[in-house]
Structure formats: structure tokens, C-alpha cells
Chain A
């Protein structure tokens, strides 16, 4: 291992930590959250994510099915017929910018946020 290998490793660690920080930073600036379910690049459905919403969605795609559960402001893919089960193992997501992907089914479950200025003024 040469000196430059070590520099490379340190550089990549710094870049990825900075990237994680950016992703996190982007997530914390919103006061209204949405769950978007996107299949094959087109939006399937969209919900306002708050603590009250409790919904189980069974999604049929060409390749199989996914069961998505929204509860307590969190979203999880509970079941999937895909073979790698990465979407299930990803666990819960709750912050804007977080995303669950099921590549075999071309499914994306993502949380987005918006700045709702009217709310903050009226409070």
C-alpha cells in the first residue's frame, strides 16, 4: 500500500461523510412530509405523511407484489415477492430524502418535503 492509496482512502471517507451530511441536512428543513410511491418512473400514489395516517397498500406490479405499510409517520415495505428482499431489509424510513428502492420491481418509495409557509405564519 502506497502513500497515495492512503490519501485516496481518506479522501473517499471525507467525501462520503460529507455526502451523508448533505443528505441529512436536506432532510431536516421541511415541515410537511409526503410519501410518494413511484412505479416504473410514473407516480402511483402520494400521501401526506403524519402520525395519524395508517394505511396498508398492496401494490401489484408486472413482476410480483409489494406490501407497503404507512404507520406512525413511518413507511416500511413489509413484504415483497422480489428475490433479493433489499426493500424489506431496508426497514423503516421517516425523513424527507429517505428512499426505499425495489430494483426488480422498478419501485421507489420516497419521502419528500415541502416548506409550508402559510402554516408557519398562521401559527
Chain B
């Protein structure tokens, strides 16, 4: 596959991730914890990581957070999503690269969700200069099990389908 085609694929994936992020903002969650969300965009990021590799998924992820900053226009939530996105991607990359014999995509995604929550709470505690906020962490971990499981489960299908499509256009 030539470079242009690859860029188009990555651009489409980024657009998809942005769409999912905006969409999940509209879904109210039953639990009132700061930063708790479904992490639907993580499906795209994780699939990109598996199919295209670390560097490209990193780019998709960063472009996504900047686009959401422009669309939703909340600089404070941008700081949280930015630190969360980067740390979760790095953790997912390490787990996927070195421990993929042990963990399926579900495990990788749960690791990512846990890293995301930890980073967000840590950022919040720095911004608010308050360590009591860590008392949210246990409940966030429990939530991240469910969201992480769902994201990993769905990513399996996305990866499978994406590979099929890419084979059709003679990629690699």
C-alpha cells in the first residue's frame, strides 16, 4: 500500500475516533466520578496499535485529542484526556508488544483503561493540589474493568475486519 492510501486510512480512523468521543459525551453514565467514561475511542486507538503499530496509533491518538479540544472546546478536560490518552497508549503498547502471549486484546485494553484512570486521577490531584481525590480510584478501577472488557472485545472484531479490508487493497 502506498503512503497516500495509508494516510487516508489513518485519517478515517482518526475521524472515527473523534466521532466516538463526541458521541460518548452525549451518553450519561450512572456513576458520578470525575473522568469516568466509556472509552469508545480507545477501540480505534487499540485497533490502530495492532494493525498499524505504535507510532501511527500515537499520532492518531494525539490528533484525536486536539480535534476534540477544538470541537468541544474545554481546555481543562483536554489536559485530562491528553495525559490519559498518552499513558494508556504507552501501557497498552508495552503490554501488547511484550506480553501478548499472555494477554488477549481484552487484557491489553483493561490495562489501558486502568492506566488511563490512574493518569487522570493523578493529573486531577496535581491540578487541584489535593490527594484525597485518589479515593475515587478503587471505584474507577471497577468501572474500567467493564469498559476495558467491552473495548477489548469490540477491538477484536475491528482488527479482524480492518485486516481483511487492508488485504483487499493489497497492503503489505
Contact = CB atoms under 8 A, between A and B. Distances in A.
B145 A12 contact: yes
A9 B128 CA distance: 31
Nearest to A91: B32
Contacts of A46: none
A55 B103 CA distance: 53
Contact of B107 (A2, A19, A83): A2
A20 interface: yes
A56 to B, nearest CB: 21
Interface in A76-111: 83, 86-87, 89-91, 97-99, 101, 103-104, 106, 108, 110
Q: Which of A9, A15, A103, A108 has the most CB of B within 10 A?
A: A103
A103 B129 CA distance: 12
A98 B135 CA distance: 8
B104 A1 contact: yes
Contacts, number: 94
A76 to B, nearest CB: 12
Contact of B104 (A5, A16, A19, A110): A5
Interface in B76-122: 76-77, 80, 99, 102-104, 106-107, 110-111, 114
A103 B76 contact: yes
Interface in A14-57: 15-20, 23, 38, 40-41
Interface size class of A (residues with CB under 8 A): 20 to 34
A4 interface: yes
Given A41-B128, A110-B132, A16 B106 contact: no
A13 interface: yes
A97 B74 CA distance: 29
B133 interface: yes
Contact of B130 (A12, A97, A98, A108): A108
Contact of B139 (A16, A104, A110): A16
Given A4-B107, A19-B138, A101-B133, A86 B34 contact: yes
B129 A97 contact: no
B138 A86 contact: no
A5 B145 CA distance: 11
Given A38-B128, A108-B128, A110-B132, A5 B107 contact: yes
A121 interface: no
25 contacts: A1-B104, A1-B107, A2-B103, A2-B104, A2-B107, A5-B103, A8-B103, A8-B110, A9-B149, A13-B142, A16-B137, A16-B138, A16-B141, A19-B141, A20-B138, A23-B138, A41-B129, A86-B33, A97-B132, A99-B132, A101-B133, A103-B35, A103-B76, A104-B77, A110-B130
Smallest CB-CB A-B distances: 5 pairs: A19-B138, A41-B129, A89-B32, A16-B141, A16-B138
